[in-house]
Amino acid sequence: MQRLFSTFANGLPGKGLLIQRALVAAIVSSSFATELGKTSHTAALIPQLIATLAGAFIVVGLWTPIAGTGLALAELYIAFSRTGDPWMSIIAGILGGTLAIIGPGAWSIDARLFGRKHIEISNH
């Protein structure tokens, strides 16, 4: 799994990735809540639900490359399959795609699970 991540950025870049992950989750959850209030058709909510689930994985930094790709595909589908202003879906899709490429950063579950491990050898 470590092959999927370029690095687990720490410091200010890691904080920036944490903010980006939180922003993406806020955008997709807000879009889902808005869509939920507009329609009662379950089939119309499936792309929003997929994006929201991917956003949940992204906010905690779990399986970020997979979740980011899923989010990008779902949001771009939403943007081009519906009428109205597509820009929030396009922005969320692009942010999901960039997170899939860059990775989650050091403050994520992925970093704990798949980050580099320091092995200490003791002389006992």
Counting the structural domains of the chain, the total is 1
Per-residue confidence band for 118, with pLDDT thresholds at 50, 70 and 90: low
Q: State the angle between helix axes of 64-81 and 11-38 in degrees (0 to 180), rounded to the nearest 10.
A: 40
User: Does residue 69 form part of some domain?
Assistant: yes
User: Does residue 27 form part of some domain?
Assistant: yes
Tell me the pTM: 0.82
User: Does residue 79 form part of some domain?
Assistant: yes
Annotate the chain with three-state secondary structure: CHHHCCCCCCHHHHHHHHHHHHHHHHHHHHHHHHHHHHCCCHHHHHHHHHHHHHHHHHHHCCCHHHHHHHHHHHHHHHHHHCCCCCHHHHHHHHHHHHHHHHCCCCCCHHHHHHCCCCCCCCCC
Q: What percent of the chain has pLDDT over 70?
A: 87
Range of the domain at 64: 7-112
Residue-level pLDDT at 13: 86
User: Does residue 121 form part of some domain?
Assistant: no
User: Does residue 53 form part of some domain?
Assistant: yes
User: Does residue 2 form part of some domain?
Assistant: no
Per-residue pLDDT tens over the stretch 47-98: 999 999 999 999 999 999 999 999 999 999 999 998 888 999 999 999 999 9
User: Does residue 118 form part of some domain?
Assistant: no
